[in-house]
C-alpha cells in the first residue's frame, strides 16, 4: 500500500506541475517601460471635488505624478502619486500608480498629463460633477469579461455617446458605472491588463476621460480589483456612495462580500440619510435580486426590504448577460410605488436568453432582451429617463420614472 | 460464532446502504441543480468562450446537455439505491470530477489567495473542496467490488476506507481554510441561520471571530483524521458536515436551497461509512479462526 500511495503521490505532483506549465500562456505587453498606459479616472468619493487617477507602467520607476491644470487657468500643479506598487500576479510585470486629485471645483474642466520617470501620456481632460441642480446622465453596464472584440466595440460606442452628449442641448454623460465582472478570473493579471487597455477606448478623440464608478462582480475576486480601482490593499468591502449631482445619490454595493452583515447595516444608514436629501436614489451591484436568467442571490433577503422601505428609485444589476427592466416591485408584487430593477450586463460577454415569463418581466410592465448594450440614465428634475442603446446604436428600450412624491421621499425615511 | 458473522454481515450491508443512500440523495440534489435551478459551473463551462477556458457551446446546446445530464444523474441515483453497479457509479464519479473541473475552469466559488500560495494552486481549490462528493460514488463502487465477504478482503476494504478518509479530511481542511479566510458566503450562512432559528442578530465581527475558530478547528480535525483512528473525530466530521449542509436551508429557506443541502450529503455519509468500516474491520480482526473438527477415534 505504501508503494501504491507513493506512486499515486508522484502522479498527482506531475499532474499539478503540468498544470503550471499548461497554464502559462502568451502574455500581451500592456505598457512599455515607464510610459504611462491603461489610465482610468475613478469616482469613489465626492465627484464634484475629487477623483483618483490610476495608470500602469511596466517598470517600477521612481517618480510618478500628474500635471493638473484647470482649463481656464494658466496655472498648473503637480500632484505626486500617493501609492505605487506591483500588481499582484507573476505576469505581465506591471505596476500601478494612484494620484488623488482633490479640492477641485465642481462642473469644471481639468487637463491632466500623466508622467512616469519623465515619460508623459497624451494630454487628456475630465469634467468634475456639478454642484448645481442640473440634469446629468450616466452610462451603466456590466459584464465585460469575455467577448473581447465586442467589449472594444462597446467601449468605442461609449466614447462616441459621451462626445455626442455634449453637443447641442443634450444632457451630458458625466460617468460610466460598471456593475462588475470586468474579467473572467479575478487573479489573472493578464486578463485585467487587457481590460485596462481596452478601457482606454472609452477616452474620447478629444482626450475626454470618462470617470468610472466601479462595482465588484463575482469574477472579480482577489486583490487585483483593489489595485485596478485604487481601493486600499486588502479591502473586501468595496461599497460606497457618491453624489452625481446635488440631487442624485448613487450607492455602489458589493454582492460578493457578506450581504447580511456590516454592509446591510451600512446600506440602511446610507439609504435613510440619502432618501430625504436626494431627488434620485439609486443602487448598483452585481448579483441580481430579481434576475432575468439566473436565480436571485442572498441579497434578495437583506437588501430588497431596505430598497422598499426607503423607496429607492432604480437598481442597476449585472450578472445575467441580458437586457432587463422589471416592473416596479414592492413586497413581491407589481406596485406602481415600487422599485424598478434594470441590468443585467452586456458590455462584451455573450448574451443569454432571458426568461420573459417571470412575473416581474412580463410586458407591459417589464422588458427583456438579449444583445450587447449599455443603459443610459438621465436624471432630470421631473423624471429619470432610461434608454437601452444596443451595440450599433439602435434604441432597444425607453422608459421614464417620475420623481417620487414628497411623502415617499421624506416620510418613511424619517421614522 | 454464527451471531458474530450475522452481526458483521448486517454491519457490512449497513455500510453499503449508508453510501447508497448518500449517493442517491446527492444525485437528487444534483438533479434539481442541473434541471430546475439551471445555473451551474457546468453550464458556464459549456457555454463560456474558448478564450477564457470555456467550451463555446451555444446556450441552447449547453442547457439541453446540462438538463440531460441532470436526468441521467437522477436515474443513476435511483439505480444506485437498488443496486450499485460500475456502469452507474463510475459515471457519477466522473460527473462529480467534471463539476470540480468546471468550477476550476470558470473560476466558480471560493479561490484562496495568499502570498505564499501560487495562483494556479489556489485556482485548483475546487478539487479539494469537492473531494468528498467526488469520492462518495467511487468509494461505494470500490466497496461493492470487495464482494460480500469482507473478512477475506478486509485489507482491501480498509484501503477503500483510507481513500474516503483522506477525501473527507481534505474537504474538511479546505472548508476550514475558507472559514479561516472569512468566506463571505459562510458569514451570511451564520448570520442568516442565527436570525431565522433564534431571532439573534449577530454582528459580522463576531461571526468572523467564530469562523476563525471554526477554520482552525477544521484543519486540526482534518489532520487528526488522517493521522489517527479516533472514531470520535469521524463522528464529529459527520455531524458538522450535516450541520453545515443544512445551514443552507436554515439561512436561505427550504425552497431556495434544499438541493444545496442534498449535494452535501457525502459530508455526512462518507465519514459515517469510514467509521463503521473501522468498527467492522476491528470486529473482523477480533474473530478467532474456526477450529477444524477433531477426527473421532474409534
- Cβ of A260 within 8 Å of Cβ of B121? The answer is no
Work out the minimum CA distance from A250 to partner chain B, whole angstroms: 24
pLDDT tens digits along B203-240? 999 999 999 999 999 999 999 999 999 999 999 999 99
Q: Is B262 left (phi over 0), alpha (psi -120 to 50) or beta?
A: alpha
Q: Is B85 left (phi over 0), alpha (psi -120 to 50) or beta?
A: beta
Residue A263 and residue A297 in contact, taking contact as beta carbons nearer than 8 Å: no
Kindly tell me if the per-residue pLDDT of B295 is higher than 70.
no
Q: Does B98 touch chain A (CB under 8 A)?
A: no
Taking the C-alpha atoms of residue A73 and residue B162, their distance in angstroms, rounded to an integer, is 76
Q: Is A238 left (phi over 0), alpha (psi -120 to 50) or beta?
A: left
Work out the minimum CA distance from A257 to partner chain B, whole angstroms: 5
Taking the C-alpha atoms of residue B184 and residue A255, their distance in angstroms, rounded to an integer, is 10
Kindly tell me if the per-residue pLDDT of A31 is higher than 80.
no
Average pLDDT over residues A403-408: 91
pLDDT recorded at residue B157? 94
CA dihedral B38, B44, B46, B47 (to 10 degrees): 100
Q: Who among B121, B124, B191 is closest to A261 (CB)? A: B191
pLDDT recorded at residue B149? 87
Confidence at B2, pLDDT banded by 50, 70, 90: confident
Q: Who among B107, B119, B184 is closest to A184 (CB)? A: B107
Q: Does B6 touch chain A (CB under 8 A)?
A: no
Closest by CA position to A377, among listed A108, A130, A141: A141
Kindly tell me if the per-residue pLDDT of B294 is higher than 80.
no
Find the residue in A nearest to B51 (Cα).
A146
Phi, psi of A378 (to 5 degrees): -120, 120
Lowest mean pLDDT among A18-22, A338-342, B52-56: A18-22
- Starting at the edge strand found earlier in the chain, the sheet holding A323-325 runs A240-245, A248-252, A280-284, A314-316, A340-343, A323-325, A367-369
Find the residue in A nearest to B104 (Cα).
A185
Residue % of chain A over a pLDDT of 90: 87
pLDDT recorded at residue B288? 59
Residue A407 per-residue DSSP state: I
pLDDT recorded at residue B289? 52
pLDDT recorded at residue A90? 82
Size of interface A-B (CB pairs under 8 A): 88
Per the structure block, which three cell numbers stand in for A265? 447595516
Helix (H) or strand (E) segment spanning residue A97: strand A95-101
Q: Who among B124, B159, B187 is closest to A258 (CB)? A: B187
pLDDT recorded at residue A30? 64
Lowest mean pLDDT among A4-18, A333-347, B48-62: A4-18
Lowest mean pLDDT among A13-22, A36-45, A129-138, B16-25: A13-22
Find the residue in B nearest to A256 (Cα).
B184
Kindly tell me if the per-residue pLDDT of A20 is higher than 80.
no
Q: Who among A191, A219, A257 is closest to B184 (CB)? A: A257
Residue A231 and residue A225 in contact, taking contact as beta carbons nearer than 8 Å: yes
Average pLDDT over residues A345-358: 96
Per the structure block, which three cell numbers stand in for B282? 476491528
Taking the C-alpha atoms of residue B22 and residue B208, their distance in angstroms, rounded to an integer, is 31
Work out the minimum CA distance from A161 to partner chain B, whole angstroms: 28
Q: Does B91 touch chain A (CB under 8 A)?
A: no
Per the structure block, which three cell numbers stand in for A316? 442597476
Q: How many residues does chain A have?
A: 415
- Cβ of B59 within 8 Å of Cβ of A352? The answer is yes
Residue A64 and residue A81 in contact, taking contact as beta carbons nearer than 8 Å: yes
Residue A400 and residue A383 in contact, taking contact as beta carbons nearer than 8 Å: yes
Average pLDDT over residues B55-70: 96
Residue A38 and residue A96 in contact, taking contact as beta carbons nearer than 8 Å: no
Phi, psi of A303 (to 5 degrees): -100, -40
* DSSP strands (E only) in B74-154: none
Crossing angle of helices B231-252 and B184-198, rounded to 10°: 80
Q: Does B127 touch chain A (CB under 8 A)?
A: no
Kindly tell me if the per-residue pLDDT of A10 is higher than 60.
no
- Cβ of A145 within 8 Å of Cβ of B119? The answer is no
Q: Which residues pair with A375 in a beta bridge?
A: A140, A388
Taking the C-alpha atoms of residue A402 and residue A280, their distance in angstroms, rounded to an integer, is 10
- Cβ of B251 within 8 Å of Cβ of A298? The answer is yes
Give the number of C-alpha atoms closer than 13 A to the C-alpha of residue A59, restricted to the C-beta side. 10
Per CB-CB distance under 8 Å, the chain A contacts of B39 are: 293-295
pLDDT recorded at residue B3? 84
Average pLDDT over residues A287-302: 96
- Cβ of A90 within 8 Å of Cβ of B119? The answer is yes
Q: Does B119 touch chain A (CB under 8 A)?
A: yes
Average pLDDT over residues A362-377: 97
Confidence at A392, pLDDT banded by 50, 70, 90: very high
Kindly tell me if the per-residue pLDDT of A28 is higher than 70.
no
For an interface test with A, give the residue of B100, B203, B204, B252 to mutate (most A CBs within 10 A).
Answer: B204
Average pLDDT over residues A41-46: 97
Kindly tell me if the per-residue pLDDT of B7 is higher than 80.
yes
Kindly tell me if the per-residue pLDDT of A29 is higher than 60.
no
What is the per-residue burial (b if ≥16 Cβ within 10 Å, else e) of B179-201?
bbbbbbbbbbbbbbbbbeeeeee
pLDDT recorded at residue A16? 45
pLDDT recorded at residue B176? 95
Average pLDDT over residues B251-280: 96
Q: Does B59 touch chain A (CB under 8 A)?
A: yes
Closest by CA position to A144, among listed A179, A176, A182, A178: A182
Find the residue in A nearest to B105 (Cα).
A185
pLDDT recorded at residue A412? 47
pLDDT tens digits along A313-333? 999 999 999 999 999 999 999
ipTM, 2 dp: 0.90
Taking the C-alpha atoms of residue A218 and residue A184, their distance in angstroms, rounded to an integer, is 9
Q: Does B252 touch chain A (CB under 8 A)?
A: yes
Q: What's the predicted TM-score (pTM) here? A: 0.92
Taking the C-alpha atoms of residue A347 and residue A349, their distance in angstroms, rounded to an integer, is 6
State the CB neighbour count (10 A cutoff) for residue A383: 14
Residue A65 and residue A73 in contact, taking contact as beta carbons nearer than 8 Å: no
Residue A291 and residue A319 in contact, taking contact as beta carbons nearer than 8 Å: yes
Average pLDDT over residues B245-268: 96
pLDDT recorded at residue A225? 97
Domains of chain A: 37-127 (2.60.40.10), 136-414 (3.60.21.10)
Taking the C-alpha atoms of residue A315 and residue A179, their distance in angstroms, rounded to an integer, is 11
pLDDT recorded at residue B287? 59
Residue A271 and residue A415 in contact, taking contact as beta carbons nearer than 8 Å: no
Kindly tell me if the per-residue pLDDT of A7 is higher than 80.
no
Find the residue in B nearest to A299 (Cα).
B188
Kindly tell me if the per-residue pLDDT of B1 is higher than 90.
no
Amino acid at each position: 500500500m505504501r508503494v501504491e500511495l507513493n506512486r499515486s503521490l508522484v502522479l498527482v505532483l506531475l499532474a499539478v506541475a503540468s498544470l503550471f506549465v499548461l497554464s502559462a500562456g502568451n502574455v500581451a505587453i500592456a505598457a512599455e517601460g515607464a510610459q504611462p498606459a491603461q489610465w482610468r479616472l475613478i469616482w469613489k468619493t465626492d465627484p464634484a471635488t475629487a477623483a483618483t487617477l490610476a495608470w500602469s507602467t511596466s517598470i517600477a520607476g521612481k517618480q510618478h505624478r500628474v500635471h493638473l491644470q484647470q482649463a481656464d487657468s494658466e496655472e498648473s500643479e503637480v500632484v505626486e502619486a500617493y501609492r505605487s506598487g506591483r500588481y499582484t500576479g507573476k505576469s505581465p510585470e506591471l505596476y500601478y500608480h494612484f494620484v488623488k486629485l482633490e479640492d477641485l471645483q465642481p462642473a469644471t474642466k481639468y487637463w491632466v498629463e500623466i508622467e512616469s520617470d519623465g515619460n508623459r501620456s497624451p494630454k487628456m481632460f475630465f469634467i468634475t460633477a456639478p454642484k448645481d441642480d442640473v440634469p446629468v446622465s450616466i452610462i451603466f453596464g456590466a459584464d465585460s469579461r469575455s467577448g473581447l472584440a465586442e467589449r472594444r466595440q462597446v467601449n468605442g460606442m461609449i466614447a462616441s455617446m459621451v462626445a455626442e452628449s455634449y453637443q447641442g442641448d443634450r444632457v451630458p454623460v458625466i460617468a460610466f458605472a460598471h456593475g462588475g465582472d470586468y474579467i473572467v478570473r479575478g487573479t489573472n493579471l493578464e486578463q485585467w491588463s487587457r481590460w485596462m487597455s481596452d478601457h482606454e477606448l472609452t477616452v474620447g478623440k478629444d482626450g475626454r476621460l470618462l470617470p468610472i464608478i466601479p462595482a465588484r462582480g463575482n469574477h472579480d475576486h482577489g486583490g487585483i480589483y483593489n489595485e485596478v480601482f485604487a481601493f486600499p490593499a486588502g479591502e473586501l468591502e468595496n461599497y460606497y456612495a457618491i453624489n452625481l449631482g446635488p440631487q442624485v445619490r448613487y450607492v455602489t454595493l458589493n454582492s460578493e462580500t457578506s450581504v447580511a452583515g456590516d454592509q446591510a447595516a451600512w446600506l440602511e444608514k446610507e439609504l435613510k440619510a440619502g432618501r430625504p436629501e436626494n431627488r434620485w436614489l439609486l443602487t448598483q451591484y452585481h448579483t441580481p435580486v430579481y434576475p432575468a436568467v439566473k436565480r436571485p442571490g442572498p441579497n434578495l433577503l437583506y437588501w430588497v426590504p431596505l430598497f422598499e422601505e426607503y423607496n429607492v428609485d432604480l437598481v442597476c444589476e449585472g450578472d445575467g448577460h441580458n437586457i432587463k427592466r422589471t416592473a416596479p416591485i414592492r413586497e413581491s408584487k407589481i406596485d406602481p410605488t415600487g422599485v424598478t430593477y434594470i441590468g443585467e450586463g452586456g458590455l462584451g460577454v455573450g448574451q443569454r436568453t432571458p426568461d420573459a415569463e417571470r412575473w416581474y418581466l412580463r410586458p407591459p410592465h417589464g422588458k427583456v432582451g438579449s444583445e450587447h448594450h449599455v443603459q443610459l440614465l438621465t436624471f432630470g428634475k421631473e423624471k429619470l429617463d432610461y434608454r437601452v442603446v444596443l451595440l450599433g446604436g439602435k434604441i432597444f428600450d425607453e422608459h421614464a420614472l417620475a420623481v417620487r412624491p414628497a411623502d415617499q421621499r421624506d416620510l418613511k425615511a424619517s421614522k | 460464532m454464527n451471531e458474530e458473522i450475522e452481526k458483521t454481515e448486517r454491519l457490512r450491508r449497513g455500510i453499503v446502504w449508508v453510501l447508497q443512500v448518500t449517493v442517491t440523495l446527492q444525485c437528487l440534489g444534483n438533479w434539481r441543480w442541473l434541471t430546475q435551478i439551471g445555473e451551474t459551473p457546468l453550464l458556464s463551462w459549456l457555454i463560456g468562450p474558448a478564450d477564457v477556458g470555456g467550451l463555446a457551446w451555444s446556450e441552447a446546446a449547453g442547457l439541453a446537455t446540462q438538463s440531460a445530464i441532470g436526468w441521467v444523474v437522477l436515474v443513476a441515483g435511483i439505480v444506485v439505491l437498488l443496486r450499485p453497479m460500475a456502469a452507474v457509479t463510475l459515471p457519477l464519479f466522473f460527473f462529480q470530477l467534471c463539476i470540480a473541473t468546471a468550477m476550476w475552469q470558470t473560476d466558480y466559488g471560493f479561490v484562496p489567495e495568499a502570498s505564499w500560495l501560487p495562483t494556479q494552486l489556489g485556482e485548483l481549490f475546487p478539487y479539494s473542496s469537492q473531494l468528498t462528493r467526488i469520492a462518495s460514488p467511487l468509494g461505494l463502487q470500490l466497496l461493492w467490488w470487495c464482494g460480500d465477504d469482507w473478512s477475506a478482503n478486509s485489507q482491501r476494504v480498509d484501503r477503500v476506507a483510507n481513500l474516503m478518509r483522506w477525501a473527507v479530511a481534505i474537504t474538511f481542511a479546505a472548508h476550514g481554510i475558507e472559514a479561516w479566510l472569512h468566506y463571505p458566503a459562510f458569514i451570511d450562512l451564520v448570520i442568516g441561520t442565527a436570525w431565522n432559528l433564534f431571532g439573534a442578530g449577530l454582528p459580522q465581527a463576531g461571526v468572523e471571530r467564530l469562523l476563525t475558530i471554526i477554520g482552525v478547528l477544521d484543519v486540526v480535525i482534518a489532520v487528526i483524521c488522517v493521522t489517527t483512528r479516533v472514531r470520535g473525530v469521524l463522528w464529529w466530521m459527520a455531524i458538522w458536515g450535516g450541520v453545515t449542509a443544512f445551514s443552507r436551508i436554515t439561512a436561505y429557506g427550504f425552497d431556495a436551497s434544499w438541493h444545496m443541502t442534498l449535494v452535501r450529503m457525502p459530508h455526512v455519509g462518507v465519514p459515517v461509512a469510514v467509521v463503521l468500516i473501522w468498527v467492522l474491520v476491528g470486529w473482523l480482526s477480533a474473530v478467532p479462526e474456526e477450529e477444524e473438527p477433531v477426527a473421532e477415534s474409534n
